[in-house]
């Protein structure tokens, strides 16, 4: 009996071992025959993309991918169905307007439960949204909102000055975030969120600061988060992320309700907003109330800490380089103390533009990957055939560090833009590219020009503060989808 059992047991172990060996051989065979098997990359990316996902959740994926490019070249395999591209000419073909590569479904995981001009992978839907929403955010469309924008910038500069008097330093990170939040509130809903007046870090600001991190968690393991949301089973970090999503949606609903109340009280043309033309659309079927709410939610997030973080890194980088700051301050002397945006345009202050371009290169608001899906027929990229349905991703973190386009790429050097080459233009994608280029880029440029000019005109002697233990360590970037200083502060001495 014992002998029989031992024989059965050994046969069972042998059978399991044989099955396991067969499974391994089949996996190796399918992996080696995969269309991406010959694309250079770490050995483990033949089987899984989990390493990249973990870096993504930790806010370190952009440098992880950049290191892979430096080791393997302009195309690198990061998972069984995804490659990253860092060749500017190939990137242009991915972002071309005609026969474009559509956004991947990753965006629906990153920003779930909504369909907007930002996250929809459907090309006709995107075109419909873009046609309705782009005109008010164009350079000419924003002219009627210039008084509101200038008033908010003045409030931000005033707030910094007052805080410096009482505290000995001003947290410009906080004030720039208040500024951009109030501007997008005013332009979208006819009334700001009054952050500049209240000067309080409230739940709204906390949710904005966590939006990128929560999006990284959701998009790293979307099936897990969908399961948690559908069945109400809390997961580590998921409950906080879901609560933040619900609150941001509530902010959008409340903002729309406030605007409707203003229109009813003061008339339809009393406070024009970037949504006014949408509200007045003759074809009511062109956009639904739910889609308006979804876009209000997207505007709140996309119009706030993107530009505010860029402003923060710009002031910080300029104040760490005395030559750059002296030249910028000298150039701004031609402006009167009470200058308006129109004065800034007429003065043709070129070095200010170079400073802005350099901070957008060195510290882009969205440094991480922009995934696209290969269209039907597949694509030849960097000498490799990538089949239809696979994902190709680019990140300006790597493009902006192309040494052929930008020698000494880690150096903050605005003067490099005085002689812009075609290589620089091809590798420079701070707002994305193609038909999916950021719809808010003109507003961002206005806020950057006006905010920076006002700051250095008012505080020409600004410098980094060491108050409350502030160091450059606070400014080390956390790179989720958006860049963010890990200390969530930037203290400056203004006198």
Lowest mean pLDDT among 27-31, 50-54, 327-331: 27-31
- Pure H helices in 111-202: 123-133, 146-167, 172-189, 195-198
Residue 185 near residue 272 (C-beta atoms within 8 A): no
What element of type H or E holds 347?
helix 341-347
Compute the distance between CA of residue 484 and CA of residue 300 in angstroms, rounded to an integer. 17
How much is the pLDDT for 226? 67
pLDDT of 70 strictly over 90: yes
Residue 147 burial (CB < 10 Å; 0-12/13-18/19+)?
exposed
How much is the pLDDT for 7? 43
Q: Which 3 state secondary structure label does DSSP give 90?
A: helix
Residue 88 near residue 427 (C-beta atoms within 8 A): yes
Residue 88 near residue 405 (C-beta atoms within 8 A): yes
Share of the chain above pLDDT 70, in %: 85
The residue that leads in pLDDT, 303 or 177, is 177
Compute the distance between CA of residue 158 and CA of residue 314 in angstroms, rounded to an integer. 19
Q: Is the dihedral of CA 172, 175, 179, 180 positive or negative?
A: positive
For residue 479, the cross-strand partners are: 483
Mean pLDDT within 204-219: 68
pLDDT of 286 strictly over 90: no
Q: Which two tokens stand for residue 415?
A: 């003067």
Tens of pLDDT, residues 363-393: 999 999 999 999 999 999 999 999 999 999 9
For the chain, counts of helices (H) and of strands (E): 21, 11
What CATH fold (topology level) applies to the domain 50-493? Cytochrome p450 (1.10.630)
pTM of the model: 0.89
């Amino acid at each position: 009996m014992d002998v029989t059992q031992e024989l059965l047991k050994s046969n069972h172990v042998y059978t399991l071992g044989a099955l396991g060996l067969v499974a391994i051989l089949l996996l190796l065979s399918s992996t080696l025959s995969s269309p991406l098997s010959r694309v250079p990359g770490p050995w483990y990316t033949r089987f899984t993309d989990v390493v990249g996902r973990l870096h993504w959740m930790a806010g370190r994926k952009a440098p992880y991918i950049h290191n892979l490019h430096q080791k393997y070249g302009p195309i690198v395999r990061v998972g069984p169905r995804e490659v990253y591209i860092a060749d500017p000419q190939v990137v242009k073909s991915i972002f071309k307007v005609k026969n474009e590569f559509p956004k991947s479904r990753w965006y629906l995981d990153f920003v779930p439960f909504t369909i907007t001009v930002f996250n929809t992978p459907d090309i006709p839907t995107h075109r419909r949204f873009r046609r309705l929403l782009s005109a008010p955010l164009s350079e000419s469309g924003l002219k009627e909102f210039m008084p509101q924008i200038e008033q908010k910038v003045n409030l931000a500069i005033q707030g910094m000055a007052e805080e410096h008097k009482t505290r000995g330093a001003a947290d410009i990170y906080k004030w720039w975030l208040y500024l951009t939040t109030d501007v997008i509130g005013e332009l979208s809903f006819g009334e700001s969120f009054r952050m500049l007046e209240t000067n309080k870090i409230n739940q709204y600001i906390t949710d904005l600061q966590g939006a990128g991190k929560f999006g990284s968690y959701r998009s790293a393991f979307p099936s897990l988060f969908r399961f948690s949301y559908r069945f109400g089973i809390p997961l580590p970090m998921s409950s906080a992320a879901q609560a933040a999503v619900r609150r941001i949606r509530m902010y959008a609903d409340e903002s729309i309700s406030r605007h409707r109340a203003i229109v009813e009280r003061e008339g339809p043309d009393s406070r024009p907003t970037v949504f006014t033309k949408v509200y007045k659309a003759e074809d009511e079927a062109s956009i639904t109330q739910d889609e308006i709410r979804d876009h209000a939610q997207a505007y709140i997030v996309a119009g706030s800490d993107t530009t505010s973080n860029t402003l923060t890194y710009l002031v910080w980088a300029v104040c760490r380089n005395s030559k750059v700051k002296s030249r910028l301050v000298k150039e701004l002397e031609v402006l009167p103390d009470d200058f308006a945006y129109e004065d800034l345009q007429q003065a043709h202050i070129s070095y200010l533009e170079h400073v802005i371009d350099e901070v957008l290169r060195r510290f882009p608001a969205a440094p991480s990957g922009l995934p696209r899906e290969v269209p039907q027929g597949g694509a030849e990229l960097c000498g490799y055939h990538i089949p239809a349905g696979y994902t190709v991703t680019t990140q300006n973190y790597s493009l902006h560090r192309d040494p052929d386009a930008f020698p000494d790429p880690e150096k903050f050097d605005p003067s490099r833009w005085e002689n812009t080459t075609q290589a620089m233009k091809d590798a420079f994608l701070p707002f994305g590219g193609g038909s999916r280029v950021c719809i808010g880029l003109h507003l961002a440029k206005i806020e950057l020009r006006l905010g920076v000019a006002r700051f250095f005109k008012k505080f020409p002697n600004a410098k980094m503060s060491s108050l409350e233990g502030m160091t450059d360590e606070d400014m080390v970037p956390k790179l989720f989808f958006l860049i963010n200083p890990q200390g969530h502060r930037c203290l400056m001495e203004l006198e």
